[in-house]
Structure 1
Amino acid sequence: MKKITITTLTVLFFAFSSIAQDIGVKTNFAHWAAAGTPNAGLEFALNRKYTLEVGGGFNPFTFNDNKKAKHWIVQPELRYWLCESFNGHFFGLHALAGEYNISGMDIPIGRLSKLKDYRYEGFAYGAGLSYGYQWMVSPRWNFELNIGAGYAYLTYDKFPCVKCGSKIESGDNNYFGVTKAAISLIYLIK
Structure 2
Amino acid sequence: MKRLLFILLSCMALSVSAQDVAVKTNLLYDATLNINGGVEFGVTPKWTVDVSANYNNWTFSEGKRWKNWFLQPEARYWFCDRFAGHFLGVHLHGGKYNVGGIDAGFNFLGSDLSKLEDNRYQGWFAGAGVGYGYSFILGMHWNLELEIGLGYAYTRFDRFECVGCGKEVESGKSHHYVGPTKAAVNLIYVF
TM exceeds 0.5? yes
Aligned pairs for 1:22-41 (under 5 A) are: 22-33=20-31, 35-41=32-38
Q: What are structure 2's unaligned runs of at least 5 residues?
A: none
What is the SS of the residue equivalent to 1:85? coil
TM-aligned CA deviation for residue 166 of structure 1: 1.3
Aligned pairs for 1:38-187 (under 5 A) are: 38-110=35-107, 111-170=112-171, 171-187=173-189
Q: What are structure 1's unaligned runs of at least 5 residues?
A: none
**Residue 167 of structure 1 aligns to which amino acid in structure 2?**
E
What is the SS of the residue equivalent to 2:166? coil
**For residues 59 and 169 of structure 1, what CA distance do their matches in structure 2 show?**
24
* Higher share of residues assigned strand: 2
**Residue 145 of structure 1 aligns to which amino acid in structure 2?**
L
TM-aligned CA deviation for residue 99 of structure 1: 0.1
TM-aligned CA deviation for residue 141 of structure 1: 0.4
**Residue 39 of structure 2 aligns to which amino acid in structure 1?**
L
The residue that corresponds to 2:190 in the other structure is 188
TM-aligned CA deviation for residue 16 of structure 1: 2.4
Going from structure 1 to structure 2, the CA distance change for 1:5 and 1:36 (only over 3 Å counts) comes to closer
What is the SS of the residue equivalent to 2:10? helix
CA RMSD in angstroms comes to 1.9
Report if aligned partners of 1:73, 1:96 keep a CA contact under 8 Å in 2: yes
Going from structure 1 to structure 2, the CA distance change for 1:86 and 1:104 (only over 3 Å counts) comes to same
Percent identity over the alignment?
A: 44
**Residue 71 of structure 1 aligns to which amino acid in structure 2?**
N
TM-score in terms of structure 2 length: 0.91
| Equivalent pairs, count | 186
